Amino acid sequence: MSMEDALLEVKDLRVEFQGKQETVKAVDGVSFAIGKHETLGIVGESGCGKSQTCRAILRLIKKPGKIVGGQILYQGQDIVTMSEQQLRNIRGKEISIIFQEPMTSLNPVISIRKQMMEAFCHTTMSEEEKYRKSLEMLRLVGIPSPEERINGYVHQFSGGMRQRAMIAIALCSHPKLLIADEPTTALDVTIQDQVMKLLNSLKRELDMSVILVTHDLAVVAQMCDNVAVMYAGIVVEKTDVVTLFAKPRHPYTYALMGSIPDQSKVGSDLEVIQGNPPNLANLPPGCPFAPRCGYADGICKKERPELKEIEKGHLVRCHHLEKTRLFSGIINEPVKGGA
């Protein structure tokens, strides 16, 4: 993707948390780009750096964490070096974020109405215009009787309605980019599906791009155009969604696919990835996935592999690409990203 086509480009991003005796490398040289009208999936296990990568995009890393290297270019401007005033013109206006759990993101003692009105603080709208726009957004995300619900509090909403309210607040400014960090984690399967379909519909209606953070590859197949697979703070595979499911090349990606429930194997145990992710404060010298990888040998334990482009737009970080060529995906028919 050329700079002209990229809405956001992350280059060699590094985020560290400095403790009294150790440094946690939460994000260790991550690079990716997202184009206009595109949905990019960032996938991986808990603790792989997905959320910290997204928080860094809006400089929302909590102390003692900090961005220690790299660039975050939004329409050519580096967010890392922006002043607070410049950042305020982007955060919540040009780029909005939805966090995992609405109960910790929405204020329980302030009405939904007041929280939505605050989302328009950067505009010159009158109070009446803000109220009318808030009702419009609540209708857009499918909240029934918005004139009544807007005066309610978060504890009066169901889990699905809380998530919809949070999406409405995030979209009040019609952002060009929406970051959705595990937006369906606490919801049941039926509500998850509703929220995903809602995000897809809003993406088209509001003409925006989406970064979707998830551990669920089924959601990736349904929603995304391109995918970055993260492990231990680094990107291990990056490509379009069709290629990822048809021809995964990193052992970790393939292992994640093997852990997806398969209706043809009802009654059998799910495959699991043996072992645990590494301690990010004490990473092994070689490939961080080597202790859990059946293909690992001496070089894997000594040298960290580079991210290589094996075909146009398909990048993989592995020493044994000749062996992983034999992998086959879990989806035989082409998948259309962002369906």
pLDDT for residue 33: 96
User: Which residue type is seen at 7?
Assistant: L
Is it the case that residue 2 has pLDDT exceeding 60?
Answer: no
When comparing pLDDT for 139 and 339, which is higher? 139
Delimit the CATH 3.40.50.300 region(s) of the chain: 1-94+177-331+335-339
Q: Listing from the earlier edge strand, what are the strands of the sheet with 95-98?
A: 95-98, 177-181, 209-214, 39-43, 226-231, 234-240, 314-316, 308-311
pLDDT for residue 330: 59
Give the lowest-confidence range in 1-5, 35-39, 142-146.
1-5
Q: What is the pLDDT of residues 273-299, one digit of tens each?
A: 888 899 999 988 899 999 999 899 999
CATH of domain 1-94+177-331+335-339: 3.40.50.300
Q: Number of helices and strands (H, E) in the chain?
A: 13, 12
pLDDT for residue 79: 97
Complete DSSP assignment for 16-35: EEE-SS-EEEEEEEEEEEEE
Q: Measuring CA to CA, which residue among 31, 171, 176, 7 is closest to residue 95? A: 176
The set of residues, in sequence order, having a beta carbon less than 8 Å from that of 190 and lying 6+ positions away, is none
DSSP 156: G
Q: What is the pLDDT of residues 119-169, one digit of tens each?
A: 887 777 888 998 999 999 898 888 899 999 999 999 999 888 888 888 888
Complete DSSP assignment for 51-64: HHHHHHHTT-PPTT
SS3 letters across 80-126? HHCCHHHHHCCECCCEEEECCCHHHHCCCCCCHHHHHHHCCCCCCCC
pLDDT for residue 262: 65
For the chain, the distance separating the N- and C-terminal CA atoms, rounded to the nearest angstrom, is 22
Is it the case that residue 331 has pLDDT exceeding 60?
Answer: no
pLDDT for residue 190: 81
Return the bridge partners of 96, or none: 178
